[in-house]
Structure 1
Amino acid sequence: MSSSGNRIVETVQAKAHKVASEDLGRAKALVNDAARSGSYLYPIKGMFYFLTHKALWKPLLSRLAPTVTLSVGVVTAMFFLTYLPQLGILVFVNGPLAVFTTVLLVLSESSTIISILSKNFLLQDAILDTFDGTLLDRNATGLLKEGRQVKSGTDPINRLGKVLKNPFKRFSLDSLVRYVMYLPLNFIPVVGTVAFVVLQGRARGNSIHDRYFQLKGWSSAQKEKWLSEHTGPYSAFGTIATLLEMVPIASVFFSFTNTVGAALWAADIEAKETEMTTSTAPNLREAASKVD
């Protein structure tokens, strides 16, 4: 090879090494931010908090029968209709592991379908009540009054009055397109499936505090700035939440416990009781207002 060719190869190798080092550095920073914030623990905290606070069960119990029926129907249909065809494809790239990776793929697909149908047609009000009720239970009454009437009493769900601001949006076409685009990652053995779950988790994490941001009156720019500064913590929460909601049938239960976890995290952020706020946003409201 000529000297000029060697120089080109060396330049490309140096550039590749630089890019890899930068990406690794960013990945380490995201992991460190997530670990420091403790965000990955909130889905678990939400589970235990939900189980030990029976008042928060009311919204779930009111929608339990139709949602469980929907979940059983979707999971059963997906395994019956799509498992073998997808296994036949994945076995060529994943080998024996295809038996397991196909299960994860079908569960992920089922979870997405259940989420679309249930959250748009069955659970919107129940999930909103669960989030708001958890805020009340954590004494974040002042924050909640920005978007909802609050009654007197001790039961957090019974205290919820008329909704003044509703944060929910119908399932967006962009989310569906993004999901379909990421599906081919499952053809890559193990690593591809993990990457698929993480990417889904990142998208999930970006939406968990929509209600919180709305109650604070943040603009889209303020919200995006906050999320970009805390990508690691929100991605970590979203990944754990996504994994939990991939569990057949129990996904409905975990949708509510993840909602409780998100509300607990919001209450801690508001009270500045997390490493994330104390280290990077000592005055959350004022810092966010500077975006505009």
Structure 2
Amino acid sequence: MASQLAGKAQEVAKEDYDKARLLLNDAARSGSYLYPVKGIFYFLTHPELWKPLRSRLLPYLTLYSSVLGSMFFFTYLPQVAIMAFVNGPLAVFTTALLILNESSTITGIISKNYLLQDAILDTFDGTLVARNSSNIVAEGRELNARGDSIQRLGKALKTPFKRFSVNELVRYVMYLPLNFVPVVGTVAFILLRGRSRGDSVHDRYFQLKGWPTSRKSKWLKDHKGPYTAFGTVATLLEMIPVASVVFSFTNTVGAALWAADIEAKENEMAGSTAPELREAAKKAE
């Protein structure tokens, strides 16, 4: 009996290892993990994309300061008492990091649903316009003929971003205890958060393309590795105190750059396939 259980455990471990290896290989080949970094540089070199961030910066900092102060005041001592059992003297530091993460997450959920929603939408669409993908953006909003990439954005006809997500909060609470396991638990927590984060980065792109839920789900399933890699890097950046709001916007820029590259690749494939289809049609005649 013991040998059978051991054999089954090895089989399951090998299966999980193979799946993880495939995901890592897919992520590495796609280069998706680089897009959050590309988003930073693109954002810095295109000042017109700063406008949505500037319009929301002060309200965000006020919200973040309030959440962070309240979390340290009300939850630091209870959490450090719990963390002391697993982290010992390091609990003072690990609890502080945990509260920073919690505060960032709470602020992110509130701000993205109620404070930054329109600004992030403008940043995504503006980046697509800057990347000469206006035809995609035109499927979801009016576009002006003149101005920079942000000034050209007119009234939004479609808005993909959902309001407060109970599922997102539940997942966060479920994953939170992983932080009590030193190192390994924290890494697992970040990866799980990254996977969840990755699943939503192209909501706007899918909407502009008019994809139904079934096609979107299949695409995300087929590209799980790349989206998890993007989401993990984006999550790490957004965990940085205070600067998290800036990285929320640069990650949005990175997601839009990735979407523009996907679109360009699809157009290139369609362009190369079309002559072949026409030739086949002629032969059929």
The verdict on a shared fold, with TM-score over 0.5 as the criterion, is yes
Q: Name the TM-score, length of structure 2 as normaliser.
A: 0.91
- Point out where structure 2 has 5 or more consecutive residues left out of the alignment: 274-285
Distance 1:191 1:97, change over 3 A: farther
Retained in 1: the 8 A contact 2:36–2:230?
A: yes
Q: State yes or no: 1:82 paired with 2:82.
A: no
Map 1:30-179 → 2, pairs under 5 A? 30-179=23-172
Q: Shift in Å at residue 80 of structure 1?
A: 2.5
Retained in 2: the 8 A contact 1:101–1:190?
A: no
Retained in 2: the 8 A contact 1:97–1:189?
A: no
Counterpart of 1:165 in 2: which secondary structure? coil
Q: State yes or no: 1:16 paired with 2:16.
A: no
Q: Which amino acid aligns with 1:190?
A: V
After the TM superposition, which segments of 4 or more aligned residues of structure 1 sit over 3 Å from their partners?
A: none
Deviation track 1:118-138 (CA, whole Å, cap 9, x = no partner) reads 112211110000000000000
Retained in 2: the 8 A contact 1:75–1:248?
A: no
Q: Which amino acid aligns with 2:214?
A: A
Q: What is the alpha-carbon distance in structure 2 between the residues aligned to residue 103 and residue 195 of structure 1? A: 19
Of 199, 203, 216, the residue aligned with 2:196 is 203
Tell me how large the CA RMSD over aligned residues is: 1.7
* Greater Cα offset, 73-82 or 238-247: 73-82
Report how many residues are paired.
271
Q: State yes or no: 1:230 paired with 2:223.
A: yes
Q: Shift in Å at residue 154 of structure 1?
A: 4.1
- Point out where structure 1 has 5 or more consecutive residues left out of the alignment: 1-7, 287-292
Q: Shift in Å at residue 177 of structure 1?
A: 1.1
Retained in 1: the 8 A contact 2:84–2:90?
A: yes
Q: What is the alpha-carbon distance in structure 1 between the residues aligned to residue 10 and residue 161 of structure 2? A: 44
Q: Name the TM-score, length of structure 1 as normaliser.
A: 0.89
Retained in 2: the 8 A contact 1:39–1:265?
A: yes
Q: What is the alpha-carbon distance in structure 1 between the residues aligned to residue 108 and residue 214 of structure 2? A: 27
